[in-house]
Every structure is written in C-alpha cells, then in structure tokens.
C-alpha cells in the first residue's frame, strides 16, 4: 500500500524547511529507522528516519529545496505490510542528535551535592581499544566516512560512549583538505592574483529557513508589540570580586563561572520577587509562570538561537555555567532539541563581549521582556564620603511588552536585578 511521507514539523515555530540531502533513492528497500534525509529547520539541522518498512518508490522534492511546507508530501513509500501500515498522521520525524559529554542529567545530579564534581571526558575512547566492526558510529557518520574514504579507526568520537558522529567526520575532512591545500601552496609557491575586474560589485544571497523565520518573527514583534524601555546602571565591583573568589576555588576542578552566568542567576531571582514579570503574552490572556526559565541569545552562523536555561533559581552557579556552555556549543552545531529552545518568559542578550556600551533589544515573542546587557566600564563616582573613586558599571536596558507588564512593575523588576548584581552575597545563599 503506497504511503505518503510528509515534511515533519521539527520545531514549534517551523512552518517550512529545507531538504539538504537524500540518503536514499527511488527503488531502495528501507527498514524502519533507516535514515531518509537531512532536514534544516529554522532552528537546527536534523536527521529524518523512516517510520516504516518498505520500498521507496519516489522522492517528490529535490535536494536543496528550501521552501517545503510542513505536512507537504516529500516521498512515497510502498509499505511492506499494507495491513498494518501507519497512517499519514503517524509519520513523525525521529531525531538522531548526539549530546555533548555534559548532559542535562549530569547537571541535575550535581545540584544536590555541595562538593564540586570531578569533570572528565568519560566518553573518550582510544581508537585502538576497539576493532573496526565494533566501533560505535551513527548511521549518517558511517555513510559519510565510506563516501569520503575515511579511516574511522583513527577517529576518537565526541558522542556518548565515544560514538562517532557527523561532526567528527566533517572535522577530519576539513583537516585533510587544509593539509592538502598547504602542500599545494608549498609546491607551487605562487598565489593567485585577483583582478579588480573579477570582483562582483554585489551578491544576491538567498534566505535560509532560519533567516526567514527571524525576519518574520522580529518584523511581527517590532510591529505588534508595544515596546517600552527601562534603563539602569549596575555597579558590579562586588560581583566581579565574588566571581574571582569563586573561580579560584573552582579552578582545580576545571570549572569557571562567567559574568553572564551570574546575571542569569540574578534575573532568575528577580523573576521570583516580581512574579507579574514572569509572564508571556497569549493574545487574549497572559500566562504567569512559576519557575524562572530564562532564554539566552546565542549568535550562530546565519542567525540567532535562544536556548532556555530551565528553573534557574534551583540551580547553583556552577550548574548554570555547565548548562549554558552545553547549550551554546550545541546551538552553534545546530544540535538542540525542540524542548531546549522552547519556553521561558525573558531573554538575556549580552553584547558586552563586542564592546557595546548600550543597546535596545527586540522582544522575542511570546516573552514579556528582554534584557540587553552591555560591556563593563570604568567610571568615576562619588563615594560615601564624597571622595571620587573608580567604579565598574554595566548598562542594562529592559525592553518590556506593555500589553503584559505595566511600567511600575517592570521598573521594580529591573531594580531587583540591579540589587542582586550589586549585592552578590544574595546570589550565593547555597553552594556555588
């Protein structure tokens, strides 16, 4: 019985996607769980597995098609068991994403123990410890290795239990190409001269699914959300001193807390103090959350992702640091799962590392607000005895959705954030 395979919705905001590559062709016999295609959503690149067994009779979209709507048929499968074939509504994507060495489960276990855990790469394996037939490798990585003629026994996998994943194959391929290029340059001893007449004056760049989504959402946000902006300076000398002390103690365990980790903690505490800022806009209602789930803006190639650190107030600074590092790395690799970039009531956008003194951020709907964080700056201030002294400050700008949060409530929230940053002892009531 022929069965349509539909373009899956692989993220909450996905309306269309790009089919990057087919791993099968018409006439191939397929088992349930075999890789069919690699799909790019507005948030990540994911592998799509076959939901059933049968023969692929036809592919309906070509590789590189970037405007495939969700639920649009992309292939026809002749099911091997017509009497028990799944209906179209049951055809769903199975995601094959290799997590980092530091998993969320490990982070959660860490919070109940005041002692700092040993931090080791327990998944690393020596290639000589296993035979070629027993090497753990994802189906996609194995196909890529065979196509590129890569010796997988020489690769140390970065996936769980030393499993080799796609990124490992690509990294080795890039290294080999670079080596070949360097040798080629050594042999020729020449560089290509580019004439001005060869350089185009402009270039037309097609929009990716991610860029389209960013454009649509931010245009809608700026047009439909009545933003108002609250600005406040925070003196962070005590915060930086506390961070230095904490990191000296964590250094022997290979851990390090960033200024942004402490800001995340401060915002989480402030949300609990100001529950009517811990909200999202629902169109005809407001949703007030009980937990402090905070999104962080991560710049990646071609766009921006906002993974969410969940239940911040129940985590130590070390746990927040481990989790944010994990989320940032997997954001850049486009390996987040949908639940990891969903939820939250506020986003933190930190451009301090770019040397930015101050900026206004656009709210990420349906969040009620977004906090823009600038770089630290040395400024003169008057001390308690009216003597001029040096102080380290950061400028904070809170963009607020006036439909969900009133001005006075937003001002109280920003004031709470500044108070926690200026008196960091309140952030360190538990272990760090």
- Residue 184 has a pLDDT of 54
224 pLDDT above the threshold of 90: yes
> Which of the four pLDDT bands, split at 50, 70 and 90, describes residue 187?
very low
DSSP output for 259-319: HHHHHHHHHHHHHHHSGGGSEEE-SSSEEEPSS--EEE-EEETTEEE--EE-SGGGS-HHH
> 338 vs 353, which has greater pLDDT?
353
Query: How much is the average pLDDT of 254-259?
Result: 92
Task: Of 64-78, 168-182, 388-402, give the range with the top mean pLDDT.
Answer: 388-402
The model's pLDDT over 125-139, given as tens digits with 9 standing for 90+, comes to 344 444 455 677 877
Q: How many other CB atoms sit within 10 Å of the CB of residue 112?
A: 8
The reply to whether CATH 3.10.450.50 applies to domain 209-427 is: no
Dist CA 34 CA 187 (whole Å): 44
> 157 vs 210, which has greater pLDDT?
210
Collect all residues with Cβ–Cβ distance below 8 Å to 51 and sequence separation of at least 6.
5, 32, 86, 90, 91, 92, 94
- Residue 376 has a pLDDT of 95
- List 227, 251, 285, 402, catalytic entry: 402
Cβ burial of 277 (10 Å; 0-12, 13-18, 19+) is buried
- Residue 90 has a pLDDT of 43
- Residue 430 has a pLDDT of 57
> Which of the four pLDDT bands, split at 50, 70 and 90, describes residue 225?
very high
DSSP output for 115-161: SPPP---TT---GGGS-GGG--B-HHHHHHHHHHT--GGG----SGG
Cβ burial of 184 (10 Å; 0-12, 13-18, 19+) is exposed
Percentage with pLDDT > 90 across the chain: 43
Dist CA 26 CA 57 (whole Å): 5
Total residue length of the chain: 432
Dist CA 400 CA 117 (whole Å): 39
Domain locations in the chain as residue ranges: 2-90, 115-188, 209-427
> 345 vs 213, which has greater pLDDT?
345
71, two tokens: 């639920």
2-6, 96-100, 413-417, range with the lowest pLDDT = 96-100
Q: What are phi and psi of 423, to 5 degrees?
A: -125, 75
55-64, 180-189, 343-352, range with the lowest pLDDT = 180-189
Dist CA 268 CA 385 (whole Å): 34
pTM above 0.85, yes or no: no
The model's pLDDT over 385-426, given as tens digits with 9 standing for 90+, comes to 888 999 999 999 999 999 999 999 999 999 999 999 999 987
> 341 vs 362, which has greater pLDDT?
362
> 190 vs 111, which has greater pLDDT?
190
Specify the CATH class of 2-90 in words: mainly beta
Dist CA 362 CA 374 (whole Å): 15
- Residue 176 has a pLDDT of 65
- The four Cα atoms 231, 226, 278, 218 give a dihedral, to 10 degrees, of -90
Query: Is residue 402 annotated as part of the catalytic site, yes or no?
Result: yes
Fold topology of 115-188: Dihydrolipoamide Transferase (4.10.320)
What percent of the residues of the chain are helix, what percent strand, and what percent coil, each to the nearest 5?
35, 25, 40
The model's pLDDT over 267-300, given as tens digits with 9 standing for 90+, comes to 999 999 999 999 999 999 999 999 999 999 999 9
229 pLDDT above the threshold of 80: yes
């Amino acid at each position: 019985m022929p069965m349509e395979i539909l373009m899956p919705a692989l993220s909450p905001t996905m309306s269309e996607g790009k089919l990057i590559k087919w791993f099968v062709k018409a006439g191939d016999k397929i088992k349930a769980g075999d890789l069919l295609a690699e799909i790019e959503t507005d948030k990540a690149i994911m592998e799509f597995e076959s939901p059933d067994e049968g023969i692929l009779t036809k592919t309906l979209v070509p590789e590189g098609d970037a405007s495939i709507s969700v639920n649009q048929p992309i292939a026809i499968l002749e099911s091997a068991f017509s009497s028990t074939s799944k209906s179209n509504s049951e055809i769903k994507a199975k995601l094959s994403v290799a997590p980092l060495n530091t998993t969320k489960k490990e982070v959660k276990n860490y919070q109940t123990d005041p002692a700092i855990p040993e931090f080791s790469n327990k998944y690393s394996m020596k290639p000589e410890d296993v035979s070629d037939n027993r090497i753990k490798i994802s189906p996609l990585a194995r196909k890529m290795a065979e196509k590129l003629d890569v010796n997988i026994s020489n690769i140390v996998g970065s996936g769980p239990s030393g499993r080799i994943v796609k990124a490992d194959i690509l990294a080795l391929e890039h290294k080999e190409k670079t080596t070949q290029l360097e040798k080629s340059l050594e042999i020729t001893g020449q560089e290509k001269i580019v004439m001005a007449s060869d350089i185009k004056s402009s270039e037309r760049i097609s929009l990716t699914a991610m860029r389209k989504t960013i454009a649509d959402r931010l245009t809608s946000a700026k047009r439909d959300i009545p933003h108002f902006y609250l600005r406040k300076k925070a003196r962070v000398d005590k915060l930086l001193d506390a961070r230095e002390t904490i990191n000296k103690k964590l250094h022997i365990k290979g851990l390090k807390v960033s200024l942004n980790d402490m800001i995340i903690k401060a915002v989480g505490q402030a949300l609990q103090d100001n529950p009517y800022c811990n909200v999202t806009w629902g169109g005809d209602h407001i949703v007030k959350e009980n937990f402090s789930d905070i999104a962080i803006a991560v710049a990646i190639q071609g766009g921006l992702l906002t993974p969410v650190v969940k239940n911040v107030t129940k985590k130590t600074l070390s746990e927040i640091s481990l989790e944010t590092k994990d989320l940032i790395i997997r954001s850049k690799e486009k390996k987040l799962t949908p639940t990891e970039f969903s939820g939250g009531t506020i986003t933190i956008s930190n451009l301090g590392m770019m040397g930015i003194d101050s900026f206004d951020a656009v709210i990420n709907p349906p969040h009620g607000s977004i906090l823009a964080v600038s770089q630290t700056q040395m400024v003169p201030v008057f001390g308690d005895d009216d003597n001029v002294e040096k102080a380290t400050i950061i400028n904070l700008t809170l963009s607020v959705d006036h439909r969900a949060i009133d001005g006075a409530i937003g001002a109280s929230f920003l004031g709470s954030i500044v108070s926690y940053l200026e008196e960091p002892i309140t952030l360190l009531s538990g272990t760090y």
